[in-house]
Chain A
Amino acid sequence: MAEVVSGVWRVVPARVGAGFPGVPANRFAFRPQGEVTEGCRLPVLRRNQDNEDEWPLAEILSVKDISGRKLFYVHYIDFNKRLDEWVTHDRLDLKKIQFPKKEAKTPTKNGLPGSRPGSPEREVKRKVEVVSPATPVPASTETTQASVFPQNGSARRAVAAQPGRKRKSNCLGTDEDSQDSSDGIPSAPRMTGSLVSDRSHDDIITRMKNIECIELGRHRLKPWYFSPYPQELTTLPVLYLCEFCLKYVKSLKCLQRHLTKCDLRHPPGNEIYRKGTISFFEIDGRKNKSYSQNLCLLAKCFLDHKTLYYDTDPFLFYVMTEYDCKGFHIVGYFSKEKESTEDYNVACILTLPPYQRRGYGKLLIEFSYELSKVEGKTGTPEKPLSDLGLLSYRSYWSQTILEILMNLKSENGERPQITINEISEITSIKKEDVISTLQYLNLINYYKGQYILTLSEDIVDGHERAMLKRILRIDSKCLHFTPKDWSKRGKW
């Protein structure tokens, strides 16, 4: 008896592997005559960065009809959401379409706020299908799903890559609710930090980009993720932002008008670092709410896990700018809790897309650790990291640690040595991050009864090559920063 139960429960680890390519076909019922609806999975044509055509598997998240032409919002399975896009019908490989398996429990689940179907649309459609499977249901033409399903915002546990899992577990006959119960009713996110690690608020709306394009100064940015700009602005082809105060307006005319009134030519904060054209401005999230909020709205377009649930009061924003004759142009920023209970020295960090892959990200990271050095603390970025965040941080950590290790001088002919704590103190990188980096670089070995660090040739070479490319560095002499003791203040 107990074994049976445990057998049922053993399904749980099986879900971990969900979402990998090569999902067994039998999970999805094949319906050649079916309409392409939300929840369907099928290969979608996509051009990769090498300009090659690929047909990765994708999931239809939404369908809209614009002047008789259907558009499908697709999420490429195992690709980051930022690559999700609206595609036309001709990019769908309908021959390989997998329809979402109708769920047995759909009727009962429908009203439950704690359940987590993939999306309300899917759910409703599925329900309809249950009633009349043969009748194709026309996809909704609304652009804003919220208007169709006013209650859909409530407690959807939408798991981006998880519908498959769910179905898988359904196929295996597990009780889905038994797992869902642990999730409980979603509540407000934790009040510390800027990032959400649980996706209880990640419903279909927030899974989809809502802004087509943002014009910021010279740049036109394609947002990667949802951002809660005023809803009436989400239908615009372009959202215009003032480059300096980041105010959002609906049209170029409005921006022109705004610029006659806005005399900012730099972020509205105190400059605490300047070297060359690079400057850093510190902005208090409580004192300068409007800028902080505008910055967060913009940043949310490029940060998936960032939450704007709460106000910006407990944060400081460090905005990196590049100066030219027009002013101090925002390049990137990171936010930081005034008081962190978990040694976070960065909450959110972002290099705006036009400046990416040019070393600014690492500069931001370096700056954040410089601040920690001034504070005399070690720090670590708030989790979860994004893929780009992980790569950037790993790269920074690797370079920083390798720099130290390679510069170690042997004393008295003895082999140079260093402790992990020393590395942490020198760099302000939290000890765990030091260890994980050493591990990632495969530097730690156990030799003759003790741990050693080994710097192989290719590591050294790779590091030297990387450092050659790393031109932008923070000069701590140019930093004019006095940390405040926020704990002594009543408010943030």
Chain B
Amino acid sequence: MSKLSFRARALDAAKPLPVYRGKDMPDLNDCVSINRAVPQMPTGMEKEEESEHHLQRAISAQQVFREKKESMVIPVPEAESNVNYYNRLYKGEFKQPKQFIHIQPFNLDNEQPDYDMDSEDETLLNRLNRKMEIKPLQFEIMIDRLEKASSNQLVTLQEAKLLLNEDDYLIKAVYDYWVRKRKNCRGPSLIPQIKQEKRDGSTNNDPYVAFRRRTEKMQTRKNRKNDEASYEKMLKLRREFSRAITILEMIKRREKTKRELLHLTLEVVEKRYHLGDYGGEILNEVKLNRPDKEMSTTPATLHNGNHHKVQECKVKHPHHPSLKEDMSDVVRQKKKYPKKPKIESVITPQQPTTEPLPVISKSDIKQYDFHSSDEDEFPQVPSPVSEPEEENDPDGPCAFRRRAGCQYYAPRLDQTNYSCENSELAELDKLRYRHCLTTLTVPRRCIGFARRRIGRGGRVIMDRISTEHDPVLKQIDPEMLNSFSSSSQTVDFSSNFSRTNASNKHCENRLSLSEIISNIRSCRLQCFQPRLLNLQDSDSEECTSRKPGQTVNNKRVSAASVALLNTSKNGISVTGGITEEQFQTHQQQLVQMQRQQLAQLQQKQQSQHSSQQTHPKAQGSSTSDCMSKTLDSASAHFAASAVVSAPAPSRSEVTKEQNTSHNNINGVVQPSGTSKTLYSTNMALSSSPGISAVQLVRTVGHSTTNHLIPALCTSSPQTLPMNNSCLTNAVHLNNVSVVSPVNVHINARTSAPSPTALKLATVAASMDRVPKVTPSSAISSIARENHEPERLGLNGIAETTVAMEVT
């Protein structure tokens, strides 16, 4: 029966095998041979040894007797364990430690010599010891050193002397003995050593060579895959480490500066205390005297993470988790201290901007703050103001809650709480919040604050905004931003203003050009300068400027021709300020003038005239006479950002500057006096007073922006695309309020207001109601006439010059 299942299945290691024992055992006759099913396992021995007599005998004996029989064991060479001198050889006893023995790998190399003295050496030693004392160990060290210093060639006696720090006689004796012994030695060394492999491979089969190095690395199965992954991980690690290093360096810098600040502050406080300057009067005095100096010192900017400098303005938050915040808080509180040492405790948070110390001008205070601040980039940002409110007046469920790990900027209070009383810097700052001081490459001038947007087809659209500072900004020469070497070149215009326009309150607060520039230079003010276009070729400039308005590159289209060229060509260069009255009175007159295309002669005259005017100013930098003559200073106040509403999509900002020679800030006509001085100083005088340009900016229609426009920009005619409505005379400035500040700012003593300025004024008036109409259409029409006919042919943008006549 079982024969039928002769072909047994293969033995399955995973299948349970029932175990039969003793009586349960089935009759083995019933069992089937499994020889086929279960292959015979190899013994693992070498074949020829497997058959060895003693092994076979032992195996069979085991099979038979199921245990080893003494006579059946495999015989081996005898071993004796009867070394009777063992106890003398291995002296002492070794107590088994309780703990497991654990050895330190470094303890293994002891400095004992490898050479062991033999009886022959002992004889020598005994002989030597008659003359001098030499210990066996000493001798062994000597031989050891000699052996190890020699390879195939024995060391010389001289070398031996260097090698051994012994008596010369001893060295000689040992050396001679060693040389003799070495020669008789059969081995390569007196210290028996395992034969080493030789590089040439000649020892590959030498049976006495052992322990060869494994040249090929042993292949382990594992380290194949993750090579790339681990490499990437390493790279990442490296990046992160270097970032950590950067952060730590920054922290170091910050902390150092903070310490410095603290010391300085303490010093100031001390000084003030000694002087009894409890009210801060002396401090104010000191500060007023040296604003320039303070501005020129670039404050240490300490950054937290990756934030851009300009944006850096963090909220002081009491429950901010980071230590750093806390620390800076402390510092901040301390630096407040000097201001109000008596009034407020150290812990008092910073006061709002309406802080006392009326004598100190706001900007000065802020400047002080700025310099002492360890992290605020903007002195004018009163970030801590909100602190108490935040703490004490939560908004209930709607309260703003900070999220851990987020960094928040300080709220821009100056923007929401704008008031005329706010300092100029605050104003600037507010503008800067969205707008950035922008410089055009062609024409090379600063156009004041503007904001760039990318329009359809990649056009770059400039949104401009007019500020009180426009007159000043207008004077900024891009070159100055680049190469602003000394403050001596700039004139403090604010002081000029304060003297000339004494009646004007705002002028006092106005920032000086130098201040702005230094602000820019110290990166406190963002200033955008596009990459330089080729300015060399004025003709090409012209060409580019003549390109159709629909062209993609608006910047290029808007590029203005170089001033001098324009001057010669168009010849209308007017410098002048206008008052509202003048504006109105001369409006028609001016329009007429424009239409008649003011003669070049006249312009030349004017330019000459203006240059004459400029010179003395530049030299003397005295403003009094200049002011008397240059009524055009008023023009500064006609900082106008011409707002052109562009119905056509292709419409874009067009900045046309027919201005002679100088850097008009777009839409901002700086006081001519200023411009003149600028010329005289920076540009080594050129030609006529500027014809300010009007840049056509498509407003996004911020009422606020418009509202802020303190002055209408007079100046230049604008060319607008043909399809634009700008051809219409309905040019409106959108806001009356735009005009009104002009009045405020400009002392109405200007003579000969420029026709365009007048136009703008009207435009402004009309704009109030029709905000979307281009303000400069009138001007542009004039401009067209002013220009060569070819310009008119330009589709879209043509340059126009508006003569701003200086009386």
Contacts and interface: CB of A to CB of B under 8 A. Distances in A.
B19 A408 contact: yes
Nearest to B47: A16
Given A387-B54, A435-B41, A451 B186 contact: no
Contacts of B8: 446, 451
A130 interface: no
A328 B93 CA distance: 11
A466 B216 CA distance: 47
A203 B207 contact: yes
B205 A153 contact: yes
Interface in A61-89: 78-80, 82-83
A259 B221 CA distance: 44
Contacts of A34: none
Interface in A404-430: 405-406, 408, 415-421, 424
A433 B41 CA distance: 8
Contacts of B13: 419-421, 424, 431, 435
B307 interface: no
Contacts of B49: 80, 384, 386-387
A139 B805 CA distance: 132
A390 B55 contact: yes
B229 interface: no
Contacts of B45: 383-387, 389-390
Contact of B18 (A215, A417, A435, A436): A417
Contacts of A391: 55, 58-59, 62, 74
B220 A339 contact: yes
B187 interface: yes
Task: Give the interface size bracket for A toward B.
Answer: 35 or more
Given A153-B207, A253-B122, A314 B108 contact: no
Which bracket fits the contact residues of B? 35 or more
Contact of B34 (A203, A265, A445): A445
B273 to A, nearest CB: 66
A439 B38 contact: yes
Contacts of A456: 25
A220 B187 contact: no
Given A416-B18, A453-B18, A79 B207 contact: no
Contacts of A257: 116-118, 136, 140
Interface stretch (A103-111, A169-177, A270-278, A363-371): A270-278
Interface in A235-265: 243, 248-263, 265
Given A80-B74, A446-B34, A419 B14 contact: yes
B483 interface: no
A228 B48 contact: no
A32 interface: no
B44 A415 contact: no
Contact of A309 (B50, B78, B212): B212
Given A271-B100, A454-B28, A341 B221 contact: yes
B159 to A, nearest CB: 25
Q: Is the interface of B mostly helix, strand, loop or mixed?
A: loop
A253 B34 contact: no
B358 interface: no
A50 B72 CA distance: 10
A312 B20 contact: no
Nearest to B97: A271
A226 B207 contact: yes
Contact of A418 (B16, B91, B102, B212): B16
Given A268-B103, A439-B41, A230 B187 contact: yes
B199 interface: no
A447 B26 contact: yes
B135 to A, nearest CB: 11
A308 B211 contact: yes
B716 to A, nearest CB: 75
A417 B192 contact: no
B406 interface: no
A375 to B, nearest CB: 16
B76 A356 contact: yes
Interface stretch (B81-89, B380-388, B655-663): B81-89
A457 interface: yes
B43 A390 contact: yes
Contacts of A296: 210-211
Majority-rule SS of A interface residues:
mixed
A354 B563 CA distance: 112
A378 to B, nearest CB: 12
A228 B194 contact: yes
A444 B81 contact: no
A289 to B, nearest CB: 8
B118 A253 contact: yes
Interface stretch (A1-9, A35-43, A121-129, A154-162): A154-162
Contacts of A215: 83
A448 interface: yes
Most chain B Cβ neighbours within 10 Å, of A215, A260, A313, A431 = A260
A328 B38 CA distance: 46
Contact of A353 (B59, B79, B116, B216): B79
A419 B17 contact: yes
Interface string A311-322: 111100000000
Interface string A87-125: 000000000000000000000000000000000000000
Interface in A132-183: 146, 153-155, 159-162
B375 to A, nearest CB: 46
B98 to A, nearest CB: 10
B24 interface: yes
Contact of A160 (B19, B48, B95, B96): B48
Interface in B516-559: none
Q: Select the residue from A50, A153, A445, A450 with max chain B CB neighbours within 10 A.
A: A445
B31 A217 contact: no
Nearest to A230: B192
B25 to A, nearest CB: 5
Interface string B651-678: 0000000000000000000000000000
Contacts of B399: none
B185 interface: yes
B67 A417 contact: no
A417 B76 contact: no
A353 B18 contact: no
Contact of B66 (A80, A297, A459): A459
A446 B26 CA distance: 11
Q: Which of B78, B116, B209 has the most CB of A within 10 A?
A: B116
B75 interface: yes
A217 B48 contact: no
A326 interface: yes
A465 interface: yes
Nearest to A381: B44
Contacts of A408: 19
Contacts of B40: 439
A230 B212 contact: no
A304 to B, nearest CB: 8
A416 to B, nearest CB: 5
Contact of B94 (A48, A261, A265, A395): A265
Interface string A185-206: 0101001100001000101011
Interface in A336-386: 339, 341, 352-354, 356-357, 381, 383-386
B227 to A, nearest CB: 13
Contacts of A465: 66-67
B71 interface: yes
A189 B11 CA distance: 35
B65 interface: yes
24 contacts: A215-B83, A218-B83, A230-B208, A251-B119, A254-B117, A261-B110, A266-B94, A270-B101, A279-B101, A309-B210, A325-B93, A325-B95, A353-B79, A356-B76, A385-B43, A387-B49, A394-B62, A420-B12, A444-B38, A445-B31, A448-B26, A451-B8, A453-B19, A460-B22
5 nearest A-B pairs in the assembled complex, by CB-CB distance: A462-B66, A436-B41, A232-B187, A254-B116, A308-B210
Given A254-B117, A385-B44, 5 more contacts: A218-B83, A233-B192, A296-B211, A326-B93, A435-B41
